[in-house]
Structure formats: structure tokens, C-alpha cells
């Protein structure tokens, strides 16, 4: 029997490779579970949040600042498209009734725009703003205005 075991063996390399793969799998599973929990918490907040006067005042200040900076629109908020009742399909394809698919507080923002901002000449739009893995990701809600007063 050899008194000096090999410094390295194929068995050791395969065992280390398998252990590293298991660690990566466990980390990915943990990250996915954390992401699901965050989405569930955010979804609950989206469904139950009531817009306050402070929220409206903060949004109006952001709109003023964007206008003064020469912007043509402001993204008020973004949210995962999976929260829309159709996963964002109507928004992504600009189909009629897309605003009715907005979840919870996002629809309340639309109603606030319709009641308070639309009469002042502001526009409202929602669009998918990223496509992770080629699929619709987050939706942005935008308030816009013309470049010049007509």
C-alpha cells in the first residue's frame, strides 16, 4: 500500500463539483422563495393600499420637477406585470380596456388621473418597461404632458 495518498483524485474532484452544484441549487431555491415572498407581500400592499393626500402631493411635486427639467413624462410607479389580471398582456399589446387590468392601487392611480389630472391636459399610460428572459417584466405607469401649449 502506498504510504502517501494522492494529493488529488478524480473522486475528490467529482465530489467537490457535486457539492458546489448542490450549494448553487440550494442558493437559487432560497433566492426564488425569497422573491416569491417579496412578490406576495408587495401584491397584498398593491391590493390594499389607499392613496393619501400626501401621496398625491408628492406625485404632483415630482410632476412639476420633471416638467421644469424639460421632461415630457414621469414614471410614477412600476410594478410586476404578473400582478395584472392578464399578466400584462393588454398593456403590452395596447389593447382596449388595458386600464381595467391594473391591479389595486395602480387602478386607483388611473382613477386619480382621470378625475384630477386629465382635465388639466395630462396623459396617462402604462407600458411594459423590461423583458427579463424575453417575457414581460415590470410595468411603468406614466403621467405625460405636451411639449408646447397648444
C-alpha torsion 85→50→141→110, nearest 10: 80
Task: Give the residue ranges of the chain where pLDDT is below 70.
Answer: 1-2
- The count of domains in the chain is 2
Residue 13 in domain:
yes
The per-residue pLDDT for range 102-124, each reduced to its tens digit, is 999 999 999 999 999 999 999 99
The pLDDT, as a whole number, for residue 4 is: 73
- Same domain for 106 and 66: yes
Residue 131 in domain:
yes
The pLDDT, as a whole number, for residue 77 is: 96
- Same domain for 34 and 56: no
Return the DSSP state at 148: S
- Same domain for 37 and 82: no
The whole model's pTM is what?
0.80
The pLDDT, as a whole number, for residue 6 is: 77
- Same domain for 56 and 44: no
Residue ranges making up the domain that contains 20? 8-48
Residue 22 in domain:
yes
> What's the grid cell of residue 36?
416569491
Instruction: Give CA–CA dist 88/86, Å, rounded.
Output: 5
- Same domain for 90 and 56: yes
Return the DSSP state at 84: S
The per-residue pLDDT for range 69-85, each reduced to its tens digit, is 999 999 999 999 999 99
Alpha carbon distances (Å) from 15 to 10, 52, 125:
9, 57, 54
- Same domain for 107 and 41: no
The pLDDT, as a whole number, for residue 1 is: 60
Amino acid at each position: 500500500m502506498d504510504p502517501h495518498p494522492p494529493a488529488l483524485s478524480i473522486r475528490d474532484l467529482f465530489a467537490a463539483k457535486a457539492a458546489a452544484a448542490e450549494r448553487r441549487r440550494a442558493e437559487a431555491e432560497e433566492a426564488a422563495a425569497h422573491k416569491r415572498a417579496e412578490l406576495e407581500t408587495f401584491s397584498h400592499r398593491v391590493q390594499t393600499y389607499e392613496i393619501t393626500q400626501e401621496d398625491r402631493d408628492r406625485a404632483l411635486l415630482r410632476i412639476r420637477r420633471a416638467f421644469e427639467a424639460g421632461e415630457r413624462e414621469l414614471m410614477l410607479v412600476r410594478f410586476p406585470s404578473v400582478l395584472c389580471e392578464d399578466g400584462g398582456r393588454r398593456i403590452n399589446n395596447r389593447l382596449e380596456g388595458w386600464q381595467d387590468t391594473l391591479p389595486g392601487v395602480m387602478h386607483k392611480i388611473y382613477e386619480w388621473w382621470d378625475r384630477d389630472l386629465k382635465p388639466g391636459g395630462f396623459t396617462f399610460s402604462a407600458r411594459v418597461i423590461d423583458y427579463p428572459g424575453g417575457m414581460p417584466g415590470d410595468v411603468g405607469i406614466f403621467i405625460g404632458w405636451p411639449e408646447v401649449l397648444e
